[in-house]
Copies of this chain bind each other. A is one copy, B any other.
């Protein structure tokens, strides 16, 4: 074991601890500073009234998406995406199990970071919400009519899908850059051969007219860490910008090794040019192994396909496809202003925000104003693209969003603050402390062509003394600011579940009237659905017992079942016959190892139960549905494996 680096690490420790110490105790500053009824009434949504915005927060290491109302900060729903959810049986019922399939098999968890609303003409349109899976590289699509995850696509040749799924102006593409470079294709190589063997890949995912995703192409790039991205808009439409760090190509102790160079790169990709090269056949086909999972509302069942290859563009063979823009100090977020002109690089080890000009970039390309080239990628001269820098005197800029009125807002992790500054003049207009350690910030529509503005949400990693303590594990949190005036005004602290990594928000008006209230029974195409109690039945096929069962207030049909044997696979296919809003029924069976199921009106879901011992096992409705909910129960008689008890079922007493 090599301990050479330890002394070099020490200075960064000191930095980290000093800032932590500075933050402690600052809570007191805010106590008592508010509480006036003016502020309270700005976030108070009276009972029965609606919030003004839907805000979609990533769950970070929870793998899910949470939906908050703004300005109230109330959690309206958790949408399961990449992780199993016992409450909703997501990943447990037979319908959704395939959604979590990957090339590694079934994976119960991921780390979701960046919710991204679909766009039309550069403005969020409320059709779909996309989000990346960081760990096992994937992108998911949520349908905003049903608030359900309907598609998950795995990204091959990627590891740590962090710079994703940032969308293009008309939802043509989502992007996905590998955070961790790896051998492409994967192979068993020594870690010290990093510089020789490790590569990055930037992926473009085509979005079809119904939202369906497919991998259009990948670009093979040097073995850096690709961190974040944003697509161009307006004048820069057709381009995407990806930050990279670890251009040092270190494979150990990156806190030191990836912090050596003064500048890393923002990669500028011309995807219109990529389309030309694809059309011209100028690509290589790489073998790949990745899953594409889709969930159908109509049949309430998912299917998982394994796909086999991808088209890869090699920069050396595709001139004009990609350029590097030198950007100081391990840039984290890269954000494009509403006009598409300014590309803001947030150098996280810097106190400055570096802004590049798209116009200057085009000119520099035209002028061949390059300093160098790496693997066929020209490195544009820094001065030739640099528009200006914001001298904020903050520390650790991470992300920038825009209000559509010429102002930008940048989060500073280390100095724990939000800084408001002016596009073009780069002057600092305002700054507010946040509690504590802000990562992303979010303005509704704040990364689009026409920000909706009004509020800013700070997404904070550390909460310490901000809320009642809950043992060693504390919530992360959001802080809501009013940004309608010249100065930012703190309105509300609200805790969040999981890690609120990034969020996007949209006016409620755009979505709420399209929301599906229940599924029509007449549209139910589940292979085991029934349309009325008359169709309820129990059938045996070998060891498989299929129970076609219905629920309606306040009974199951059938509710007495005999003839099931130890060792059988018993499938409860529950159809909820209700046809009204907000009348779900659940089904729990004692000792079932697949969670319960929670079935919406008109829907069918399947719970698999493998009875282990003889006896009588009740089942019951798990969702309080009526005054006679407690009576909504049934019994299954389980007989020994060699029993001759025949399949028998009824609603009401058995006929003799």
Q: How far is the CB of A654 from chain B (nearest CB, A)?
A: 6
Which of B30, B50, B87 sits near A83, CB closer than 8 Å? B87
**Is A314's beta carbon under 8 Å from chain B?**
no
Interface string of A215-253 (1 = CB under 8 A from B): 000000000010100000000000000000110000111
- Nearest 6 interchain pairs by C-beta: A186-B615, A40-B44, A147-B471, A104-B591, A254-B631, A62-B87
Known: A469-B512, A614-B187, A653-B252. A630 touches B104 (CB 8 A): no
Residues from 372 to 427 in A contacting B, C-beta threshold 8 Å: 395-396, 413-414
Known: A180-B633, A332-B630. A470 touches B76 (CB 8 A): yes
Q: List the one stretch of A316-324, A542-550, A593-601 in contact with chain B.
A: A593-601
Assess the B595–A474 pair: CB atoms within 8 A. no
Assess the A508–B468 pair: CB atoms within 8 A. yes
- For residue A51, which residues in chain B have a CB less than 8 angstroms away from its CB? 467-468
**Is A284's beta carbon under 8 Å from chain B?**
no
Q: A109-B595, A186-B614, A473-B600 are in contact. List 15 more A-B contacts (CB 8 A).
A: A1-B652, A13-B553, A15-B627, A28-B48, A47-B490, A77-B495, A78-B497, A108-B593, A135-B589, A136-B591, A190-B562, A252-B634, A464-B582, A468-B508, A472-B603
Q: How far is the CB of A402 from chain B (nearest CB, A)?
A: 23
Residues from 537 to 564 in A contacting B, C-beta threshold 8 Å: 552-555, 558-560, 562
Interface string of A11-54 (1 = CB under 8 A from B): 01101100110000001111111111111110110111111001
Which of B253, B519, B640 sits near A472, CB closer than 8 Å? B519
Most-contacted residue by chain B among A562, A580, A633 (CB, 10 A): A633
Q: How many residues of A contact B (CB 8 A)?
A: 205
Assess the B30–A255 pair: CB atoms within 8 A. no
Known: A255-B555, A559-B252, A651-B253. A30 touches B44 (CB 8 A): no
Interface string of A83-125 (1 = CB under 8 A from B): 1101110001000000000101111110100000000000000
- For residue A495, which residues in chain B have a CB less than 8 angstroms away from its CB? 74-77
Assess the B253–A182 pair: CB atoms within 8 A. no
Q: How far is the CB of A180 from chain B (nearest CB, A)?
A: 4
Number of this chain's copies in the assembly equals 2
- For residue A188, which residues in chain B have a CB less than 8 angstroms away from its CB? 614-616, 637-640, 643, 645
**Is A189's beta carbon under 8 Å from chain B?**
yes
Closest to A135 in B: B588
Q: How far is the CB of A58 from chain B (nearest CB, A)?
A: 12
Closest to A613 in B: B186
Known: A192-B654, A655-B1. A499 touches B624 (CB 8 A): yes
- For residue A41, which residues in chain B have a CB less than 8 angstroms away from its CB? 35-37, 40-41
